[in-house]
Amino acid sequence: MKITIIIPAHNEEVYLKACLDSFVSQTTPPNELIVVDDNSNDSTFTIATKFAEKYNWIKVLQNNSTNEHIPGKKVVDTFNFGLKYASEYDLLGKFDADIILPPNYFEIMRNHFQSNWKLGMCSGLLYIKKDNDWVYENIADKNHIRGPIKLYHKACFNKIGGLRPAVGWDTVDILLAKYHGFETLTDTSLHVKHLRPTGQSYSNKNKYAKGEALYKMRYNLPLAKLAALKMAWQAKSPSLYFYTVFGYVNACLKKTPRFITKEEGSFIRKHRWKGIWKKLL
């Protein structure tokens, strides 16, 4: 199965070399790796170019986007820019520049997709360094495919309509995959090192954006409150709950356009409540 991976990269000179080293050290590397340098003012482009000069399956592109940090939208827009230059693929990945993959990562990914025709998305798990140990980055359930290591089957990616350019893109994609009858899988044996742990502090704009994303995914208010409570608990930030609920209510009052259709929203709500009751009973 042909694999294309796209890495949006903005000022990633600290992590990029180690990341790309893990790609070229794979037992079966991807067929194509596209690094998109998005307005970097450090040596990101230079580092990526050196790899591209040595490995003909690595491409480097430069994207001149806005310097403003727009949560969710900026990274998806950069990914979509790279996607325009992708070759033919069976599996498509959106990966981050601050990860280190185990050497058999893509070998095992291919095996998973080849052995299950209903598999739409697959990944390993992210681990962060704590003292001298690598521990699971416990900000999401272990069955959740995290944003830095998204790998899609082409049929699934096309069916869900690609990625939504906003906060919440890496949650709604999983839910839409399930809506369209695809399965998702996280392989707990594949430990991916996350060199820059997901931040526990968020700007006010980011906190509001999380609530807005829940509204766009057509959560109702009780479900949004439970989701906000879970995020606040995992982030160890009580204030995150209130910012998220405020963002949801504000999006509701402004009648912000939704991510998804009414039918998809109905499925997502039922799916979420089913998961909640399963954990409680």
Same domain, 220 and 93: no
Query: Are 268 and 219 a contacting pair, CB within 8 Å?
Result: yes
Full 3-state SS string of 246-274: HHHHHHHHCCCCCCCCHHHHHHHHHHHHH
- Which CATH number do you get for residue 109? 3.90.550.10
Same domain, 148 and 245: no
Q: How many domains does the chain have?
A: 2
The reply to whether 199 falls in a domain is: no
Same domain, 152 and 242: no
Same domain, 88 and 14: yes
Per-residue pLDDT in tens (0 to 9) along the chain, 281 residues: 999 999 999 999 999 999 999 999 999 999 999 999 999 999 999 999 999 999 999 999 999 876 666 667 889 999 999 999 999 999 999 999 999 999 999 999 999 999 999 999 999 999 999 988 999 998 888 999 999 999 999 999 999 999 998 888 999 999 999 999 999 999 999 999 999 987 644 454 566 888 999 999 999 999 999 999 988 887 788 888 999 999 999 999 999 999 889 999 999 999 989 888 877 77
**What gap in Å lies between CA 181 and CA 150, rounded to an integer?**
18
Domain range for residue 64? 3-194
Same domain, 165 and 122: yes
Same domain, 69 and 187: yes
Residue at which a domain ends, from 139, 168, 194: 194
Q: How many residues does the chain have?
A: 281
Same domain, 31 and 115: yes
Question: What does 77-107 look like in DSSP terms, one character per residue?
Answer: HHHHHHHTT----SEEEEE-SSEE--TTHHH
The reply to whether 8 falls in a domain is: yes
Same domain, 140 and 229: no
